[in-house]
Structure 1
Amino acid sequence: MSKGIRLAAGLAGLALLVSACGEAPDESKEGTAEGPLACMVTDTGGIDDRSFNAAAWVGMQAGAKATSGKAEYVASTNENDYIPNINELVNKGCDTIVTVGGLMGDATTEAAKAHPDQQFAIVDSPSVAGQKIYGMEFNTAQSSFQAGYLAASMSKSGKVATYGGLAIPPVTIFMDGFYEGVQYFNEKKGKKVEVLGWDPAKPDSGSIAGAFGDLAKGKSIAKGFIEQGADIIFPVAGGTGLGSAAAAKESGGKVSVIWVDTDGCESAADYCDVFLTSVMKNVNGAVEQAVTKAGSGELTGSYLGTLENGGTSLAPFHEFDSKVPADLKTELDQIKTDIASGTISIKSVSQPKG
């Protein structure tokens, strides 16, 4: 599926989108044509989270344009909004309804059972047998493994850190991969780089913010890690992670961040100077393809994004490019090849089954 999902164009569009969002209304529309109506329910992070909700909206708009249709969204402020928001869009007559985030899995399944003729698609959750739900999942453990190896290689203190927004598989999959990548570096190089905030064998003791839009919490968590000696932080927490980027910026160059979901230098350009790289998942491309297929009545099966098909990847190093040694870049490319071939086996239990 690789070339059907246009990663670079979607992320460039995302950068323009978030710069123009400001305070988003509860509902937004894109397009005025008389084609299919594609509708989206955001997760609690909101449309301007500079992360997966914003990326999904870019894909919605692109899919609507491709089908000469319209795209609309409603925003969820908490989990109690999921079912009412979905029902609102069903009643509106949306041809396709895209729900964003694994937390909406139960609500989407409930709605699909109640409205068997309605086409649904969901980000970060699998397709559901017997229901018209098209699942879009991403094995971000693969690219996070690369990120962990990179962080361990670049750390000067020998301590790196990660935390999540919520302890759910679409989040912990990143943290698992990151942890495993650091351990792989230690094994290959005979080092002892420490990971603060997460150990897959002890998930109950992991660092979890409890929200995807709490910048103050993200900054507090990052400062705690910095006080313990971490110099690279991997927040898997949507907008909460911007607080960690702010803490890194205040460090005066001593601390850097690895962003998630989108290329941080495009979606949160004001923090580009602290973003070592980003672990991307091509939400915008997958959603665009789902909306386009649904518009022609061909939305069946499911989607799984991997390193091999471009559904997940490391972003360019941008302002850090000259600081990342050439041999390390070569090692990261080899890791990608070895993951695709099965030479490197990732153990995360949060990986989608495909």
Structure 2
Amino acid sequence: MSEQSQPRVGVYLDFDNIVISRYNQLHGDGAFTRDKVRSRVSFTPGAEVTLRIQQAIVDVGAILDYAATLGPIAVSRAYADWSAPVNARHRRHLVDRAVNLTQLFPTVATLKNGADIALTIDVMEHLFRLDDLSHIVIVAGDSDYIPLVQRCKQLGRVVVGIGVSGATSSALAAACDRFVDYDSLPGVAAVAPVAAIVTKAATVKTASVAQSAASTTPAAKTAAGVTASVAKPAAKKKASPKKPPIAKPAGSAAAALDVDPSPKARKAATALLLRAMEDLGANDLEWQHAATLKSTMQQLDPTFQERALGFTQFSEFLKSRHQTVELQQASPTAPILLKVR
């Protein structure tokens, strides 16, 4: 690959993998199989499963927009069984973004379609045919892609992984030069639980039916009024602890992230911060740039993302570690500098 050529990006999506992972992430482990989503051919408006599928729609635009920040996208391909309605629902979004769709029919009873093999073959072909393909973005979570990632790095390419939290192999994430959780991509909005939406709709419907029945006779109206007056406080009291979270605008620095990292994760992040500062100490500078620090942290641990710790910006993460590092900023627009206390 010529060092003077402009970096170009190849994006490869194991779409079956990401669709299933996203659905299970939102609705529970095994929900995709339990709800028989793959075999569903009709989507009844308002039905709970239909709402679940709609909420689990993968934001293709957010993935491609992120990939475009690495350089111009030269290749973009998505691998799936597009005859499955749940995948076909994404087809228009993919076509509108000029993503090449590769059809893979299931060949065995387990519905495995060989996407990993087809994707790997295409990537290797493009690496040798397109000398200026500098970045490879793999959207998947399967550990089967680790040999591909390793080979891409051996050939001098930068590998960026994108996967769904909780459904991505930690070994795959560690193998990549950089790994990003799908939820942390700019443009991916938070999702409210379907159960809360369905329950609310059912409550409204029941209330309207009860009101209609109560208006039939004075006696029924009185009885319905008494029942409603008794049931309403009880229902309100019962439902109050389980209010659905409000979806916050993605990318808003003021939006609080609904993340509760474990003490182990917080401790690991602080240890990573100190390790990166130690590595940067080799440049003999007393104060280090925050941007350089983040890059070093992600080189040491490709899975590091401040959003996974509940922070919308890296600067917020640094401020939360004020007992570990000292921050310095000449003005609100000036770069943040820091040193170990």
Q: What is the TM-score when the length of structure 2 is the normalising length? A: 0.40
User: Which one has a larger percent strand, Structure 1 or Structure 2?
Assistant: 1
Specify which structure has the bigger relative contact order, considering alpha-carbon pairs within 8 angstroms and separated by 6 or more residues.
1
